[in-house]
Structure 1
Amino acid sequence: MTTVICPYCFDRAPASRLPYRCLMMATGVRGGTPCDAEPDDVWAGFMGPSVPPSRRLRGPVFAAPRTLAALRGSATRQPCPGCGVASSVRVCRRCHSDFPSEYCDQDSRIIALVGAKASGKSTYVSVLVNELRGRVGREYNISLPAMGDETQRRDREMAEDLYERLQLPDTTRPAAMGFNDPLLYRLSVPRRGRYARSSRHTTLVFFDAAGEDLKSAEAMARYTQYLAAADGIILLVDPLQMGSVRDSGATADGPPLPAVETSPQQIAADLAAQLRSHGRSVSRGRVTTPMAVAVTKTDALRSLLGAHSPLLRNATHAGGEQDDDDRLAVHEELRSLLSDWDSGVLCRQLENDFAELSYFGLSALGAPPPADAPADAPKSGPQPLRVEDPLLWLLGRRGLIQVRKSRPASRDRAERADA
């Protein structure tokens, strides 16, 4: 029986137990009279005070009938008991959020994006999706359509703003201003093997926590359920927040330095505390949720990198496989750089708190924004470096993509951080 995780409130429920929402259509079999909209206080209460009264009126929610087909999960449409019109719109039993079509028919992978304000989370997602549909998608034969009206709308807006208008995305609004919808994508990857003729399908759920909500453990508690349900966490670390990098003069020709926000080690400590409180830990108190630590804006660090640094080029992904030796080279270089920048404080924090982690370096834009227009993308448009690496590592761990390994497992320091 398929278990569905709500991408909005992260409630888990068997697919057969999910209620439906009436379509309020005028073609019912009982005389053609549609149901009237009614206030959905459950959904409005979850969404927060920003929901206007007119949007609270929605199609009535009704329970799935206890038929054999429904119990087996094979029934995709059910008739509304009020008007008789069959509906395929399923809703979460806890928050009454509507699920996109096909969401309940496949596994989901919830990816948590976490980082301080101005670390580039929104820009990162927009560029990552574009790369998964383009350069990276060609190598792995990936398709990645957006799921649901809201994600499709935001997906178009993100692409138009960044790639046509060359404008960086707006910052994520804090939770106090209302709920931030996740981005839902249907990831399809061909199965490998001599006799494979089908594809694997999974739903990628990207949930972006506002930087303002990571300034304290109390504020981060709003995201506890989201973090506990995550299959993997991508922690974006802005190197321009680190004192030694700011003082190095490496970014003297770029835009003004961002204001100092919550330190990455404090965010990592609060993350681990929240996850431990939900039982996501192993012996010695280390959290089992895989952690991809992604240092952003590496384009601003060129003067601090060697001429042959792997951070200066994209991975090849030859044959539709992630090269684990390449990942390890990046991991070791980033670990060394981070240790130099803050005397190893962040690395020790992460390696003491997380059982599985890997370090990555990426640049969503490939160059700093213009010094006179810090809210714009470079005039040449985004030329990203390695934005896909953290997600591919998480997908590879779940067997969704092929990983080419050549080193003995005992030498893989990236996947196990031994205390």
Structure 2
Amino acid sequence: MAVNSTSPGTKKITCVICLEEFEWNERDAYRRESSGPAVRITLPPRNSAKWGAEVQSAVLRCPNEVNRVPHYFPVDFVLYERPVVIGFVGTTMAGKTCLLAAMSGEIDRQRLTPRGLRTVPVNLTEHYRYRTEVVDPFFDEGLAPPHTNRRELVSYTDAVLITTDDGRTFPLVFFDAAGEQLRGLQQDSMALRFLQRVDGLIFVVDPDLIGDGSGRAGTSILDDPTFGATIAGLRFRPMRGGRLQLPAAIAITKSDTLRFTAPVDRWLSRPTPANADREAIRQESQDAYAFLHQRRATAWLAPVDRFQWCTLHFVSASGASYLKSDGTPGAGRFVRPARPRRVLEPLMALLAMIEEHTTHAQGD
């Protein structure tokens, strides 16, 4: 993580939970026991033989409490490169929570390893609670993840440490943006911090809301509140030629329901590539763009026009049909355990664009 020195002996760091910056003296930390409150500790000097053992279970307490509740994150997150923050944008029913759960589950199952990205589980309470309550039931039993909590415009979802083949290590942090409510973001400090701090966005498209390609618009809407509100909130980010200098990807979810429809069938049956294939990404983006444009779903193509870099992907988080809930909490489920298809493709394309954008920015 890149840090900026402030007063002697302190560093400015970013909380990976709320994205607030604060100063840390590299010594004060906490240790969380299995029960009871976190206990304050003092870390040994970095050159001490005890440093490695002590820092592994240490956490930092962010001074910026969320809803008056303190939150903690591992010291590991401030020992490496600057966190890469990814935001997910989409309506409640677009399949965004399923995509997040599927992506997190695939990462935990080391699906990024063949692509040269090693992941390390983070000893973070929120991560294990998210996996136990959301990811594992989705993968093991086909239980549908609960919908995003609408009380917060932007919420931390999950995080993992990633190490590349060239030895770089950085935290990858996922945030869920309630796009349809971001119109009131001027009064929400967390949403404002998120929009100014996010490194890349994944816009989630619901194919259930678009036409069938026959010229009828189906239930397609003229203006997508999630996409429009998010893009409007980014208007103070750097731009060039009228386009935002921020990587974005569009994920067409529930693509398993279109697996016999061209060109979706071509991509869902395609083997997962071992490395990022730029030509394949370009071809899939063209096919996905044509797919949405033909169905008059132009509202979902706004990121292509507004972002300097934008890719499009066909994905399937569950790979199964959804059985509607009977109204009982937690009753929603799929016909079988989740079998994700291509859910990591938007993330891989986004990470490649972020790296390229960062390299160009450092060269300017």
Shorter chain as denominator, the TM-score bin is 0.7 to 0.9
Equivalent residue number for residue 4 of structure 1: 13
Query: Which secondary structure state, in structure 2, belongs to the residue aligned with residue 171 of structure 1?
Result: coil
Equivalent residue number for residue 237 of structure 2: 280
2:60 is aligned, of 82, 85, 90, to: 90
Kindly indicate which of the two structures has a greater share of residues assigned to strand.
Answer: 2
CA contact (8 A) 1:290 1:354 kept: yes
Shift of 1:174: 1.3
CA contact (8 A) 2:15 2:21 kept: yes
Equivalent residue number for residue 343 of structure 2: 387
Shift of 1:309: 4.4
Equivalent residue number for residue 201 of structure 2: 233
Query: Which secondary structure state, in structure 2, belongs to the residue aligned with residue 119 of structure 1?
Result: coil
Equivalent residue number for residue 32 of structure 1: none
2:315 is aligned, of 343, 347, 362, to: 362
Unaligned runs of 5+ in 1: 26-54, 80-86, 192-198, 250-256, 401-419
1:226-265 paired onto structure 2 within 5 Å:
226-242=194-210, 244-245=211-212, 265=224
Letter in 1 for 2:96: K
Equivalent residue number for residue 299 of structure 1: 256
Give distance in 2, aligned partners of 1:160 and 1:147: 17
Equivalent residue number for residue 104 of structure 1: 78
Are the structure 2 counterparts of residues 369 and 22 from structure 1 closer, same or farther at C-alpha, using a change threshold of 3 Å? closer
Are the structure 2 counterparts of residues 221 and 365 from structure 1 closer, same or farther at C-alpha, using a change threshold of 3 Å? farther
Give distance in 2, aligned partners of 1:221 and 1:284: 30
Query: Which secondary structure state, in structure 2, belongs to the residue aligned with residue 143 of structure 1?
Result: strand
> Which string of whole-angstrom CA distances, capped at 9 and with x for unpartnered residues, describes residues 134-174 of structure 1?
47334225324144122122213323311222211111111
Give distance in 2, aligned partners of 1:24 and 1:202: 23
Corresponding position: 1:269 with 2:228: yes
Output the aligned Cα RMSD. 3.9
TM-score by length of 2: 0.76
CA contact (8 A) 1:189 1:201 kept: yes
CA contact (8 A) 1:115 1:264 kept: no
CA contact (8 A) 2:319 2:341 kept: yes
CA contact (8 A) 2:90 2:227 kept: no
Shift of 1:189: 3.0
Shift of 1:116: 0.4
Give distance in 1, aligned partners of 2:180 and 2:89: 8
1:121-140 paired onto structure 2 within 5 Å:
121-134=96-109, 136-140=111-115
Give distance in 2, aligned partners of 1:338 and 1:100: 42
Equivalent residue number for residue 88 of structure 2: 113
Query: Which protein shows a greater Rg?
Result: 1
Corresponding position: 1:218 with 2:189: no
Equivalent residue number for residue 135 of structure 2: 159
Equivalent residue number for residue 190 of structure 1: 165
> Which string of whole-angstrom CA distances, capped at 9 and with x for unpartnered residues, describes residues 319-373 of structure 1?
xx111111111100010011111264442x3233212111111111123224788
Shift of 1:204: 1.1
Query: Which secondary structure state, in structure 1, belongs to the residue aligned with residue 162 of structure 2?
Result: strand
CA contact (8 A) 1:147 1:185 kept: no
Are the structure 2 counterparts of residues 76 and 138 from structure 1 closer, same or farther at C-alpha, using a change threshold of 3 Å? closer
Equivalent residue number for residue 303 of structure 2: 350
Unaligned runs of 5+ in 2: 4-11, 357-364
Query: Which secondary structure state, in structure 2, belongs to the residue aligned with residue 117 of structure 1?
Result: coil
Letter in 1 for 2:342: R
Give distance in 2, aligned partners of 1:291 and 1:221: 25
1:323 is aligned, of 263, 267, 277, to: 277
Equivalent residue number for residue 149 of structure 1: 125
> Which string of whole-angstrom CA distances, capped at 9 and with x for unpartnered residues, describes residues 90-132 of structure 1?
2224335312241111121111011101111221122112223
Are the structure 2 counterparts of residues 394 and 216 from structure 1 closer, same or farther at C-alpha, using a change threshold of 3 Å? closer
Letter in 1 for 2:149: R
Are the structure 2 counterparts of residues 115 and 246 from structure 1 closer, same or farther at C-alpha, using a change threshold of 3 Å? farther
Corresponding position: 1:168 with 2:136: no
Aligned residues: 329
TM-score by length of 1: 0.67
CA contact (8 A) 2:214 2:295 kept: no
CA contact (8 A) 1:7 1:182 kept: no
Give distance in 2, aligned partners of 1:234 and 1:183: 15
Give distance in 1, aligned partners of 2:125 and 2:238: 36
Give distance in 2, aligned partners of 1:248 and 1:139: 42
Give distance in 2, aligned partners of 1:397 and 1:166: 33
